[in-house]
Structure 1
Amino acid sequence: MGGDATDDEHAGEAERVRLAVYRGFADEGRAPSRSAIAESTGLDGDAVDRAMATLAALRHVVLDDDGRIVMAHPFASINLGFSVMGDRTLWWGGCAWDSFAIPNLVPGVDEVLVATTCPACGTPHAYVVDVDGPPEGGGLAHFLVPTAHIWDDVVHTCANQRIFCDERCIEDWLAATGNARGSVFDLATLWRLAAHWYDGRLDSPYVRREPSEARAYFAGVGLSGAFWGLEEEGA
């Protein structure tokens, strides 16, 4: 019984730290410091470190080799190609998916300006993204890494969920990099994908979707194919 209680206590500490990390990103646009997390949760430094290790193992956060927070999706602490500007806060978006998700997640943020550049030709793109529907403007999303392998190297995965000018730029980039074509879709589909993917992440307790729930979500926003785990190639 004692062991179970300790496990429950550690799980509770991890959830408190998770919430502090996510709310810190949402409010300030950057990862909260270890001391700020300790102060807001009432935990000591060792407990914070233990909780962060647990959260990383559960894929709630991504840490670098020194234990610093790199990502807490949809937020990032490094430049992965997207800036997201609200009225009072500036965020790094972890990818196209994450950047479009921020106004649908953060309370009081009805719209943001998402800025990026085409990976092929460098053309700048800016989109006013809000909670009401897809943004105006052209462009195509290209996601390189299939969902089954997202966490093989999640920073690489996110760095390659980008917005291109058009099909020609996608083909030019694939030829230049030697990468195989991934999933390509319009910005309306990107907006639908992002709109509710992170629902509940700023609340507690937060429960991640099961794989079957994720696949149903992907299908519901108009995605299909083996890339998204929805069918076998050639089916």
Structure 2
Amino acid sequence: MAELAALTGLTPDGVRRELRTLHERHDLVLDLQDTDRVVMAHPFASVPLGFSVMGTRTLWWGGCAWDSFAMPHLLRDEPDLLVATRCPACDTAHAWVVGREAPPEGDQVAHFLTPMRRAWDDVVRTCANQRLFCSTDCVEAWLGRTGRERGYVMDLTTLWHFAADWYTGRLDPGYTRRAPASATAYFAGAGLHGPFWGLPD
């Protein structure tokens, strides 16, 4: 709080008020147990949610598969980023060099558990359950073990295209967040379909 107050010229209480406003607008996510703590400012996270994203000199937590694959497109000073995670089903380690020119190679798949219309009901849970698996077999094994229903599965190429422009302008002054609820055209353009994304089959 003290650092943000010094940077903004606000009092610590003023900073807290502004952070709560940003949280309510879904521009960032506060820890509901400790509202002085920012948990996520998409695509960045301050807590581990399953992904590390390494640049030339900086190591970030990625909020989810979507955010981690979006970061290379947002961080233009980085030629590419190393995205690493583990399969939630079998604990196999995976890593990809993700750049802006083409999707990385690999047979892995992303599984998104929560439908987009429900994403902000508990956005930390939503992000923690957008994971990358070895294969659809691993997705099914994980769903069987956890008792959860299948969400949406996509390959790495689709994930890369989907993530590429989602956060365009995020680091620029005046940025307006793109809300999943109003992004059906973006989802359709990325090749996503069905009610999971608010689209017809």
| Aligned match of 2:5 | 38
Q: After TM superposition, where is structure 1 displaced by more than 6 Å over at least 4 residues in a row?
A: none
Structure 1: unaligned runs, 5 residues or longer? 1-33
Say whether residues 1:132 and 2:101 are aligned partners.
Answer: yes
Per-residue deviation at 1:116? 0.3
**Partner SS state of residue 91, structure 2:** coil
More strand by share: 2
Q: For each residue in 1:2-49, what CA deviation from the matched residue of structure 2 results, as whole angstroms up to 9, or x when unmatched? A: xxxxxxxxxxxxxxxxxxxxxxxxxxxxxxxx2222222222212111
Secondary structure of the 1:203 match is coil
Query: Counterpart in 2 of 1:53?
Result: 20
Structure 2 CA distance for aligned equivalents of residues 54 and 199 of structure 1: 22
- Greater helix fraction, Structure 1 or Structure 2: 1
Structure label with greater radius of gyration: 1
1:118 touches 1:164 (CA, 8 Å); kept in 2?
A: yes
Pair 1:176 & 2:145 matched:
yes
Q: What secondary structure, in the 3-state scheme, does the structure 2 residue paired with 1:194 have?
A: helix
Equivalent position SS for 2:172: coil
Report the alpha carbon displacement of residue 212 of structure 1 after superposing the two structures with TM.
6.9
Structure 2 Cα separation of the partners of residues 190 and 91 of structure 1: 19
Closer/same/farther in 2, CA of residues 211 and 163 from structure 1, 3 Å limit = closer
* Partner Cα distance (1:69, 1:107) in 2: 24
Deviation at 1:211, TM superposition (A): 5.8
Secondary structure of 2:53's counterpart equals: strand
TM-score relative to the length of structure 2: 0.95
Q: Distance in 2 between matches of 1:152 and 1:212?
A: 12
1:155 counterpart = 2:124: yes
Q: What pairs with 1:55-74 in structure 2 (closer than 5 Å)?
A: 55-64=22-31, 65-67=33-35, 68-74=37-43
Residue by residue, what CA displacement relative to the aligned partner does 1:116-142 show, whole Å, maximum 9, x if unpaired?
A: 000000000000001111012220000
RMSD, matched Cα:
1.3
Q: What code does the residue aligned with 1:66 have?
A: D
Question: 1:75, 1:97 → 2: CA distance?
Answer: 11
Instruction: Give the residue type in structure 1 aligned to 2:4.
Output: I
Q: Is the 8 A contact 2:69 2:159 kept in 1?
A: yes
Identity %: 60
Amino acid at match of 2:83: V
With the length of structure 1 as denominator, give the TM-score of the two structures. 0.82
Distance 1:41 1:129, change over 3 A: same
Asked if 1:215 is matched to 2:184, the reply is yes
Listed one character per residue, the Cα deviations across residues 40-64 of structure 1 (whole Å, up to 9, x for unaligned) are: 2222212111100100000111111
Partner of 1:199: 168
Which letter maps to 1:63?
Answer: L
**Equivalent residues of 1:84, 1:90 under 8 A apart:** yes
Q: After superposition, give the CA deviation of every residue in 1:151-175 in whole Å (9 maximum; x if it has no partner).
A: 1111111010000001110110111
Counterpart AA for 1:129: V
Q: Please, which moves more after superposition, 209-218 or 46-55?
A: 209-218
Does the 8 Å contact 2:45/2:61 carry over to 1? yes
Greater shift, 40-49 or 164-173, is seen at: 40-49
Shift of 1:109: 1.4
Q: How far apart are residue 99 of structure 1 and its match?
A: 0.5
